[in-house]
Amino acid sequence: MKFEEFPFDKKTLDAIGALGYETLTPIQEKVIPIALSGSDVVGQSCTGSGKTAAFSIPIAERMTAGKGLKVLVLAPTRELCIQITKDMKDMTKNRGMKVVPVYGGQSIDVQLKKVGRADIIIATPGRLLDHLRRGSISLKDIEILVIDEADRMLNMGFIDDIRKIIRATPEDRQTMLFSATIPRPILQLSRKYMRNPKCVEIPKEVDNPDIEEIFIQIREDEKFKMLMFLLDSEVPTSAIIFCNTKTLTDTLAENLKCQGYDAMAIHGDMRQAKRERVIKKFYQKKLTLLCATDVASRGLDISDVSHIINYDVPLDPENYVHRIGRTARIGKKGNAITLLSPSGHQAMRGLSVVRRHVEFTEVEGFNPEMYAPLDPKLHSKGGIRPNKKRGRGRRKFSKGRRNFRGKYIRYSP
């Protein structure tokens, strides 16, 4: 279904056209009519399915600038807060609405100068509660409340903060809740604070039919070598490499740089300004490889990430869904590759993908002797850095070389 088939006014259609949107995604097609009617809605679909446009378009269509704070959008992370702010500004630019982000890591004094004139606030729960305690933000006139990535909020321990924020808003508001999964506490939250919500669930197969999920069995001491082999053989145009710890993220990025790869790290211990610079560089295609913890599994809306590589299997099964959702966004094709060491098999037991059909295929051409091992001493906070001139750059393989080590495990629905 095309956007022109909806009865949007010209300003909304012009904003949609400027963003290059033509056809509605399944979640947008079902949620937008409900949102326009003013009813509460619970939308469940995979990361990257177009949920932000599903609520930002109705908000742009229904709200008017200059009437005070009427819309509040809650997001779990700074990155997602910044991304939603950008999308909301693009969608409302023809209407003169003031969209203000409110998140930790940014000076609260800077925010104090802007929040008083805001029509729409995009906020993380912790910093918003700071403003509520100061009295610098009032939610008494909120007409639309959006809770985005609700399951992530639950995992991060924000559920009590969300309850406090909801209680500070009028009972007759419209509430829209979006999540990739709907665990029991989120379901209970919707039943308590929403008015007869209409539930929309988009199956994963409909949302992201073009993600090829591959699992590779590999020894722990050969994971870094396999990673370099994959980068050489797959040649990703843009890839996110996920690790479970901040230290490993730094170590991996530094090792990759010393081996001639264009890589940088991002995690929660970095200063906000540096995190934003790294993300901007990745977004502008000035950086090919982003080594990240799960802080980046939400909030990065980059349309053409070709590969997601799970260097570590996520400890939380839900994080697997959000990680691979960084690729194949809104109908595009993508690849999700997970390196499975013996410890990874244990963590993988909780992943829903293990219930699918399994087909084994050996990896051709992998020779661990051609690659440098991971140096655990090498990370951004110290350690010995080898001479960069010793970096090997790109390897070329002869077609006749065959040394099978890992195994692909291909999962198909």
Q: Cα-flanking dihedrals φ and ψ of residue 291, to 5°?
A: -90, 125
Query: Cα–chain-centroid distance for residue 115?
Result: 26
For residue 298, the model assigns a pLDDT of: 58
Q: Report CA Rg, the chain.
A: 22
pLDDT tens, position by position, 267-281:
888 887 888 889 889
Three-state SS for 146?
strand
C-alpha–C-alpha distance, residues 372 and 261, integer Å: 13
Tell me which residue has tokens 């209407």. 95
pLDDT tens, position by position, 216-275:
888 899 999 999 999 999 899 999 999 999 999 999 999 999 999 999 999 888 887 888
Torsion angle, alpha carbons of 17, 20, 25, 27, to 10 = -70
List strand residue ranges (DSSP E) for 311-350, in order.
Answer: 334-340
Contact (Cβ atoms closer than 8 angstroms) between residue 165 and residue 27: no
pLDDT tens, position by position, 281-330:
998 889 999 999 987 655 566 667 889 999 998 887 777 877 887 787 65
Which domains does the chain show, CATH number per domain? 3-205 (3.40.50.300), 208-412 (3.40.50.300)
